[in-house]
C-alpha cells in the first residue's frame, strides 16, 4: 500500500512537471501577442511575465485600445491583460483660412509691389480675388505672385504678360 501511494505521488509529480513544461514560455507568448498586435493595433507592444500581458503604447481612440486588449486576451496561454495603453487626443483642427477684405488686399498688394520696386503691374480686387494685369520681366514674376498671395486673398488670377 505504501508503495502504491509513493508510485501515485510520483506519477502526479511527473504529470505536474509535464504540464508545466508544456505551458508556453513567456517569451513565446510575448512574440505571439506582439505579432497579433502589429496588425490589430499598430503602435502597441506587450510584455509578458508569468502569463500576464502588459500592454503599452498609444492609440487614437478607446475602440483601438479595446481591440488591442481583446487581441491579447485571445492568445492561448495568456492568463490576464494589464492595459496601460494611452489614448492620445486628436490633433486640433487647422486654423480657419483668413481672407482679408478687398480694400485691405488692394492696399497690401500695392504696398508690396512698391516695396519690391515693381512697376507696370495693376492689381484689381473684387470679392476677395486679385487680378494681376500688366507686363513684367520673368524674373519679377515670383515676387509679384508672392506679394499678391501674402495679402491673403481668396484667389490670385495671373493675367500678366512676361517680357
pLDDT at 128: 87
pLDDT at 140: 87
Residue 71 and residue 41 in contact, taking contact as beta carbons nearer than 8 Å: yes
Can you list the domains of the chain with their CATH numbers? 24-87 (3.30.1340.30), 102-162 (3.30.1340.30)
Q: CA-to-CA distance for 160 and 117, rounded, in angstroms?
A: 17
53: which residues sit within 8 A by CB, 6+ positions away?
29, 30, 33, 46, 47, 72, 75, 78, 80, 81, 82
Q: CA-to-CA distance for 110 and 103, rounded, in angstroms?
A: 11
Residue 62 and residue 90 in contact, taking contact as beta carbons nearer than 8 Å: no
Helix, strand, coil content of the chain in percent (nearest 5): 45, 25, 30
pLDDT in tens, 63-114: 999 999 999 999 999 999 999 999 998 888 988 877 788 888 889 889 988 8
pLDDT at 23: 59
Give the three cell numbers for residue 69: 486588449
pLDDT(19) > 60: no
pLDDT(15) > 70: no
Residue 81 and residue 55 in contact, taking contact as beta carbons nearer than 8 Å: yes
Find the mean pLDDT for residues 130-138. Answer: 91
Amino acid at each position: 500500500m505504501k508503495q502504491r501511494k509513493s508510485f501515485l505521488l510520483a506519477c502526479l509529480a511527473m504529470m505536474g512537471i509535464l504540464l508545466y513544461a508544456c505551458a508556453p514560455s513567456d517569451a513565446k507568448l510575448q512574440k505571439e501577442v506582439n505579432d497579433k498586435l502589429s496588425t490589430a493595433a499598430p503602435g502597441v507592444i506587450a510584455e509578458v511575465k508569468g502569463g500576464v500581458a502588459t500592454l503599452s503604447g498609444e492609440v487614437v481612440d478607446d475602440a483601438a485600445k479595446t481591440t488591442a486588449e481583446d487581441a491579447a486576451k485571445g492568445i492561448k496561454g495568456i492568463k490576464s491583460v494589464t492595459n496601460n495603453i494611452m489614448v492620445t487626443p486628436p490633433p486640433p483642427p487647422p486654423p480657419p483660412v483668413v481672407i482679408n477684405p478687398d480694400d485691405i488686399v488692394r492696399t497690401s498688394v500695392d504696398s508690396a509691389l512698391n516695396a519690391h520696386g515693381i512697376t507696370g503691374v495693376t492689381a484689381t480686387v473684387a470679392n476677395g480675388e486679385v487680378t494681376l494685369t500688366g507686363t513684367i520681366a520673368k524674373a519679377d514674376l515670383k515676387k509679384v505672385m508672392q506679394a499678391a498671395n501674402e495679402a491673403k486673398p481668396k484667389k490670385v488670377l495671373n493675367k500678366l504678360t512676361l517680357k
